[in-house]
C-alpha cells in the first residue's frame, strides 16, 4: 500500500486478528474531511457491497456505565428498548467524543467492536442485536 495510506492502528488490529487465526481482509474506504476530522465516506447501498455492515453505538447511562450496541446498519435502534435489555440506569445517551477517545481510541463516526483490544475498553458492556447475529449466520 501507499505509505501515505499506512494505518498503524489498523495494522495493530489486523495483527491481533491474525494471531487469533481470524481471516479479516482489509477494505479501505475513501475518507471525507469535515470540520478538521476524517471519517469514512458513504459507501453506497449495502446491496452493492459484499459482507454485512453494522451500526455501532457507544452509549452511556446515568451512572456513567458504557455500552457498545451493535445492530444491522438499516436497523432503527430504540434506546428505550436497549435500556430495558441492558438494565441501564436513567436514560441512555451517546457517549461524548472525549469518552470515545478515552475508551475506544476512536473518533465519532468510527466506533468499532475491534476497539475491544484496548485495555481502556474493559468496562464497556457489549450488546449485539439478535437480527445482526442471524444475518451473519445466514451469510
> Does the predicted model carry a pTM greater than 0.85?
no
State the cell numbers at 82.
436497549
Which of residues 131 and 23 earns the better pLDDT score?
Answer: 131
Write down the pLDDT at residue 29.
58
Q: Which residues of 44-58 are buried (b: 16+ CB within 10 A; e: fewer)?
A: eeeeeeeeeebbbbb
Q: pLDDT tens-digit profile of 4-63? A: 455 666 677 778 778 888 777 666 655 544 544 444 444 444 455 567 788 899 999 999
Write down the pLDDT at residue 88.
92
Question: Percent of the chain beyond pLDDT 90?
Answer: 29
Compute the average pLDDT of residues 108-131. 87
Q: pLDDT tens-digit profile of 49-67? A: 567 788 899 999 999 999 9
Residue 137 pLDDT > 50:
yes
Q: What phi-psi label fits residue 21: left (phi over 0), alpha (psi between -120 and 50 degrees) or beta? A: left
Residue 79 CB coordination number (10 Å): 15
Amino acid at each position: 500500500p501507499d505509505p501515505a495510506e499506512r494505518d498503524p492502528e489498523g495494522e495493530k488490529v489486523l495483527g491481533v486478528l491474525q494471531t487469533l487465526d481470524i481471516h479479516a481482509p482489509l477494505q479501505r474506504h475513501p475518507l471525507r474531511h469535515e470540520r478538521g476530522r476524517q471519517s469514512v465516506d458513504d459507501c453506497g447501498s449495502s446491496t452493492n457491497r459484499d459482507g454485512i455492515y453494522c451500526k455501532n453505538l457507544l452509549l452511556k447511562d446515568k451512572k456513567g456505565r458504557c455500552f457498545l450496541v451493535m445492530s444491522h446498519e438499516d436497523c432503527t435502534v430504540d434506546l428505550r428498548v436497549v435500556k430495558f435489555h441492558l438494565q441501564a440506569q436513567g436514560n441512555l445517551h451517546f457517549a461524548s467524543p472525549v469518552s470515545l477517545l478515552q475508551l475506544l481510541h476512536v473518533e465519532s463516526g468510527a466506533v468499532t467492536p475491534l476497539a475491544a483490544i484496548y485495555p481502556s475498553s474493559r468496562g464497556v458492556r457489549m450488546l449485539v442485536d439478535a437480527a445482526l447475529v442471524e444475518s451473519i449466520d445466514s451469510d
